Structure 1
């Protein structure tokens, strides 16, 4: 693994902490599914964890009415607590279980209450300040790859034990 040196205005995911930190973002985030904008905000939280591109958590109020519904399942994060899943709905499309939130986040992550994260690869388009987001490699992680961050990123083949 060779750490990529960040250029001007870039961040290396290898400089992010563990346990993860949260960073208030004023970047313009837009999410489109089924040809409809289902979320838009200029106030979100980025969760920053070593080896991972940021995961954006958008306020529930940023989502269009009817674009979120409860889904089956939970998962556990050793830092943030128990996550509940949501379906994303836009136009005629449903991305089943492709969003999550923390109904009772651990105290260091209390700011994430009433905020929703999603897999950018499960929707038509996610943009950050107009730039198209690429999903973090692998099927488990929800990181958002933009030109602002450099890796390598956990999730690619051979990175399971980083």
Structure 2
């Protein structure tokens, strides 16, 4: 039988992913967001957004103008988010280095998520490093959700084996 995990009580200045809404909420981010791969900055912005959904660490989205699209290679296959719509996947190629399906975007979103239409998100586990402000993020466990974990976010987090039914 399914048993929902116990929510970690957030400390001062922290957020619990169990307080995030469903359907998700989108928020403007003014912190500098950075993604590096193979020694190159592939995305950097202070104009990003984060999407917050119950049990998930935030997913950060970069405007296309702040992404090195010359490093992106389109991949076959798509997925579908019941809230945002169909997603496309992108691999990163920097010199001889390649990371398969390291990024995704929504070329056509549903109305509530128009602000991130065409924006890119990156799996922290498939790049060299991701940063929110001065903090290097930890990747969300698993290979489906792509959330970024910082010190001000507490779980438990969906994504690890056995958590998809939460």
TM-score range, shorter chain: over 0.9
Deviations 1:10-63 (Å, cap 9, x if unpaired)?
111000000101010011111110011111111111010000000001111111
2:159 is equivalent to residue 161 of structure 1: no
- Could you tell me how far 1:157 is from its partner in structure 2? 3.2
Report what 1:115 is aligned to.
Answer: 119
Q: Of 77, 89, 95, which aligns to 2:93?
A: 89
**5+ long unaligned stretches in structure 2:** none
Measured in 1, the distance between the counterparts of 2:157 and 2:119 equals: 24
Stretches of 4+ moved more than 3 A in 1? none
Report what 1:104 is aligned to.
Answer: 108
Measured in 2, the distance between the counterparts of 1:42 and 1:153 equals: 26
Measured in 2, the distance between the counterparts of 1:48 and 1:157 equals: 21
Length-normalised TM-score, structure 2: 0.93
Measured in 1, the distance between the counterparts of 2:142 and 2:98 equals: 21
**5+ long unaligned stretches in structure 1:** none
**Contact 2:73-2:92 within 8 A present in 1 as well:** yes
Report what 2:8 is aligned to.
Answer: 4
Length-normalised TM-score, structure 1: 0.95
Corresponding pairs, count: 162
